Chain A
Amino acid sequence: MKKVTFIQMILLLGLSISSSQVFAQTEQAHKSTNKLETEKTSQATKQIPSLSTDVWQDEWANDWQETTELSPWKFGYFAEVAYGRFMQNNVVESNTSLSELRGRVNVDYSHELFEFTAKGDLLFDEVLQQTDVNTKELNIAFSPLNNLDVKLGRQVLTWGTGDYVFLNDLFNKDWQSFFSGRDDEYLKSASDSVRMTSYWRDFTLDLAWTPDFSPDNYLTGERFSFYSPILKRNIAPNENFIVEQTQDSQWSARLATSIQGVEYALYGYKGFWTTPLGINHQGMAYFPKMNAWGASALTPLSNGIFNVEFSIYNSLEDSQGNQAAIPNSQVRALMGYEQEIVKNLTVGLQYYLEKTQQYDAFIQSTLFQSTLFANEQVDEYRQLATVRLRYSTLQQKLVYSLFAFYSPTDQDSYLKPAIHYRYNDNYSFSAGANIFSGSKPYTFFGQHQANTNVWFRGRFSF
């Protein structure tokens, strides 16, 4: 792969912006076709006496007159520069955890019968030394029946009640983005799916079908290291981390309703573990089959929101729990509460429990394979508590936030402090850190101590 310098990046970004002007011109053309409509409206608005018209004397004032709402096209763009680095030595190739320049184009076309959405990134990623065009969304949405919505194509899918903790939401996540300080938007990756939502009385039934299995963007060592139980240290295999790919499909379903202000939902999933947790006979990592079902409830409770959710993960290839190379089934449960405790300060608390099924068989099988791993296994009841603090000030322009994961059973933690400053409608800046700590080198968060990083992002939206 060719190394792209920052100057080349900027030049290329310039190109992408000038090509986006073509879109702007198309928008302009649409506006002029609406001119007649516009003249009518502006006559009507002239009657409004305005005492302070001066503040409207800018581009926007004209936009308002031109009734952009009537144009079926909508465009949005941003350019973002992001940089992050590790706070200590890490076994990965680069000391930078994030170094990239991104150009985004959003296009929406609204027709009476359908809605077309395209969102794409041109990304110059210096850490991975590659330039990519990433299609974030490319889909068409329509309602073939009165009570049926269909969305076809690349899309982001989300459900469930957890905050950064996912039980029944088994849609693909981008953990590399999450760990590196990219915008939350990038935690949810898109999948090529068909989503059908039907409405019957007070019930909503969602069915999502992903014909080609879409796994998470898990850690491979290209950006972050992870613990190897064999080598007893962190490794960064990167391209040597070979994973057997799966082509089969995933099905996800949700049945939701609301009874007296309480939102209930049932979930089902048929597919695979979304990270390659299994080891096949060739010693290669792969995605074992997994089905899941669960339920959730969410309700307002004394000025806040209370939620509970559980999910049962059936690891189909290890139903007895005695295959050391395949993850056991699990029961996952979550309880959460969020409230604005004082003006502009919101606090969210969550407690999460992950029970490994057939735990005895699980320990026996790992012991049988090697005593090396036995004492490094997760507890039968892995517990996790999270705290979210969010304080907004300067009329929501400045937001301080902290998200903390702490596991009393693993004795490890993950802190995500961040500051976000929205200077105006165009410029925003964010800075933060991903801080991992733990008393053991092999636990869920503890293994990432060397991945602790700080980051900065600046975005120009237009």
Chain B
Amino acid sequence: MLNFLKKTRLITLSFLTLMTSAHAAVNVDDIIKKSNLASYYAGEDGSAQARMIIVDANGNKQMRQFTILRKDQEDLGDQDMLVFFSRPTDVQGTVFRVTKKVQGDDDRWLYLPALDLVKRISAGDKRTSFVGAHFYYEDVSGRNPAEDNFTFISSDDNSYLIKAEPKDPSSVEYAFYQITIDKNTYLPMKASYFNEQQEIIREMQVLAVQDIEGFPTVVHAKMTQLSDGSFTEMQFRNVKYNVGLPESIFSERSLRTPPKTWLR
């Protein structure tokens, strides 16, 4: 009996191996590339209003509301971003500027209106909370695919399941993560982060996708901390692509004098 079980397992295993090799035709790197494009590089540029609700383990809520302007220097390449905070009142007028760099550290600036202070901030750990939310800086701006090794796990009619292992495990808080990527839109619909014990510690779920000017766009997502059930939900509205943002607005001037024309 035991033998039989062993055999079946062997057969199943070799069957799985066969399947995997059949799917090797599906280029993982290609999927990741398309997914990265779909998630972070839609259009040449874009603008959106966003809000987050941050709910801690005790159910206490905090809110954030901001407008994002983005311009790609090139697809899958460097990007310029401006984030204008409008809520809550204690951060109103705060502006965050990032030049996301594929090679090397991002450039980041913060404008604090009460002090009229433009502060260059160090690139820092990208896996720290973005303005107190469960989303990390990296979740908002996009993790560089070059930092993980991807392997194909499975696929069904709608999606691919891909495993990502960090090349530098000391740089992250997880052992690996699995992403479910939609076959049609290439948007990651779910990402589960595992610890060494193979337990899920953190999970991102897309709750709503909308077609905006032909670009499938995530308009509602949730990040949950499984250890205590705390989470952040993020919603987008007024999403626009290819609005023609001039390169010049991604400068110190916009921190002190927000470019009104592009914030409507």
Chain A residues at the B interface, C-beta cutoff of 8 Å: 41, 45, 47-52, 55-56, 58, 60, 64, 68-69, 74-78, 106, 108, 110, 112, 115, 141, 143, 149, 155-158, 184-185, 187-188, 197, 199, 204, 256, 261, 263, 298, 300, 303-305, 338-340, 343-344, 346, 395-397, 422-426, 428, 461-462
Query: A50 is contacted by which of B49, B65, B117, B208 (Cβ under 8 Å)?
Result: B208
Contact present for B107 and A261 (CB under 8 Å): yes
Contact present for B114 and A340 (CB under 8 Å): no
28 residue pairs from A and B, CB less than 8 Å apart:
A41-B237, A47-B210, A48-B208, A48-B220, A49-B207, A49-B208, A56-B53, A64-B51, A64-B65, A74-B92, A78-B90, A108-B93, A156-B115, A187-B115, A188-B116, A197-B253, A197-B256, A199-B253, A204-B252, A204-B253, A305-B122, A338-B122, A340-B125, A343-B125, A423-B60, A424-B61, A426-B88, A461-B89
**Bound: A184/B207 CA distance, A:** 40
Which of B28-36, B129-137, B157-165, B184-192 lines the interface with chain A?
B129-137
B260 within 8 A of A: yes
List chain B residues, Cβ under 8 A from A423.
Answer: 60
Contact present for B253 and A461 (CB under 8 Å): no
Q: What is the CB-to-nearest-CB distance from B104 to chain A, in angstroms, rounded to a whole number?
A: 9
Query: A158 is contacted by which of B63, B116, B257 (Cβ under 8 Å)?
Result: B116
**Bound: A50/B62 CA distance, A:** 19
B20 within 8 A of A: no
- Given A48-B208, A52-B207, A141-B257, answer yes or no on A263-B120 (Cβ-Cβ < 8 Å): yes
B71 within 8 A of A: no
List chain A residues, Cβ under 8 A from B55.
Answer: 55
List chain B residues, Cβ under 8 A from A428.
Answer: 90
Q: What is the CB-to-nearest-CB distance from A61 to chain B, in angstroms, rounded to a whole number?
A: 9
**Bound: A56/B52 CA distance, A:** 10
List chain A residues, Cβ under 8 A from B127.
Answer: 343
Contact present for B105 and A397 (CB under 8 Å): no
Interface contacts beyond A41-B237, A188-B115: sample of 20 additional A-B pairs, CB < 8 Å, sorted by A: A47-B210, A48-B208, A52-B222, A56-B53, A56-B233, A58-B61, A69-B86, A74-B92, A78-B89, A106-B89, A115-B257, A155-B116, A188-B116, A263-B120, A300-B107, A300-B120, A303-B105, A303-B123, A340-B124, A428-B90
List chain B residues, Cβ under 8 A from A158.
Answer: 115-117
Nearest B residue to A68, CB-CB:
B86
Q: What is the CB-to-nearest-CB distance from B190 to chain A, in angstroms, rounded to a whole number?
A: 13
B204 within 8 A of A: no
CB within 8 Å of A: which B81-140 residues: 86, 88-90, 92-93, 105, 107, 114-117, 120-125, 127-129, 131-134
Contact present for A397 and B132 (CB under 8 Å): yes
B219 within 8 A of A: yes
- Given A156-B116, A204-B252, answer yes or no on A396-B219 (Cβ-Cβ < 8 Å): no
B42 within 8 A of A: no
Q: What is the CB-to-nearest-CB distance from B168 to chain A, in angstroms, rounded to a whole number?
A: 14
Contact present for B257 and A143 (CB under 8 Å): yes
Contact present for B115 and A303 (CB under 8 Å): no
Q: How large is the interface on B (under 10, 10 to 19, 20 to 34, 35 or more residues)?
A: 35 or more
List chain B residues, Cβ under 8 A from A64.
Answer: 51, 65, 235, 237
**Bound: A383/B257 CA distance, A:** 38
**Bound: A423/B54 CA distance, A:** 12
Q: What is the CB-to-nearest-CB distance from A141 to chain B, in angstroms, rounded to a whole number?
A: 7
Nearest B residue to A300, CB-CB:
B105
List chain A residues, Cβ under 8 A from B235.
Answer: 64
**Residue of A115, A344, A425 with highest tally of chain B CB at under 10 A:** A425
Q: What is the CB-to-nearest-CB distance from A35 to chain B, in angstroms, rounded to a whole number?
A: 17
Query: A300 is contacted by which of B49, B123, B263 (Cβ under 8 Å)?
Result: B123
Contact present for A69 and B107 (CB under 8 Å): no
**Bound: A48/B210 CA distance, A:** 7
Q: What is the CB-to-nearest-CB distance from B204 to chain A, in angstroms, rounded to a whole number?
A: 14
- Given A52-B222, A149-B253, A425-B62, answer yes or no on A298-B208 (Cβ-Cβ < 8 Å): no
**Bound: A423/B105 CA distance, A:** 32
List chain A residues, Cβ under 8 A from B237.
Answer: 41, 45, 64
Contact present for A425 and B253 (CB under 8 Å): no
List chain B residues, Cβ under 8 A from A256.
Answer: 252
List chain B residues, Cβ under 8 A from A461.
Answer: 88-90
Q: What is the CB-to-nearest-CB distance from B239 to chain A, in angstroms, rounded to a whole number?
A: 11
Q: What is the CB-to-nearest-CB distance from A27 to chain B, in angstroms, rounded to a whole number?
A: 12
Q: What is the CB-to-nearest-CB distance from A31 to chain B, in angstroms, rounded to a whole number?
A: 15
**Bound: A395/B92 CA distance, A:** 19
Binary interface encoding of chain B residues 180-214 relative to chain A, with 1 for a CB under 8 A from any of its CBs, else 0: 00000000000000000000000000011010000
List chain B residues, Cβ under 8 A from A396.
Answer: 129, 131-132
Q: What is the CB-to-nearest-CB distance from B236 to chain A, in angstroms, rounded to a whole number?
A: 10
Contact present for B60 and A424 (CB under 8 Å): yes
Contact present for A55 and B89 (CB under 8 Å): no
**Bound: A298/B118 CA distance, A:** 12
List chain A residues, Cβ under 8 A from B263.
Answer: 69
List chain A residues, Cβ under 8 A from B256.
Answer: 149, 197
- Given A58-B61, A263-B120, A303-B105, answer yes or no on A69-B257 (Cβ-Cβ < 8 Å): no
Instruction: List the 8 shortest-distance A-B pairs measured between CB atoms, nearest first.
Output: A76-B89, A340-B124, A425-B88, A185-B114, A158-B116, A396-B132, A156-B116, A48-B208
Q: What is the CB-to-nearest-CB distance from A28 to chain B, in angstroms, rounded to a whole number?
A: 17
Nearest B residue to A75, CB-CB:
B89
Contact present for A55 and B117 (CB under 8 Å): no
Contact present for A69 and B115 (CB under 8 Å): no
Binary interface encoding of chain B residues 13-52 relative to chain A, with 1 for a CB under 8 A from any of its CBs, else 0: 0000000000000000000000000000000000001010
Contact present for A395 and B132 (CB under 8 Å): yes
Q: What is the CB-to-nearest-CB distance from B228 to chain A, in angstroms, rounded to a whole number?
A: 11
**Residue of A52, A155, A187, A338 with highest tally of chain B CB at under 10 A:** A52
List chain B residues, Cβ under 8 A from A41.
Answer: 237-238
CB within 8 Å of A: which B235-264 residues: 235, 237-238, 252-253, 256-257, 260, 263-264
Q: What is the CB-to-nearest-CB distance from A336 to chain B, in angstroms, rounded to a whole number?
A: 11
List chain A residues, Cβ under 8 A from B208.
Answer: 48-50
Q: What is the CB-to-nearest-CB distance from A185 to chain B, in angstroms, rounded to a whole number?
A: 4
**Bound: A112/B124 CA distance, A:** 37
Contact present for B233 and A55 (CB under 8 Å): yes
Q: What is the CB-to-nearest-CB distance from B195 to chain A, in angstroms, rounded to a whole number?
A: 16
Q: What is the CB-to-nearest-CB distance from B140 to chain A, in angstroms, rounded to a whole number?
A: 15
- Given A76-B89, A424-B60, A428-B90, answer yes or no on A48-B122 (Cβ-Cβ < 8 Å): no
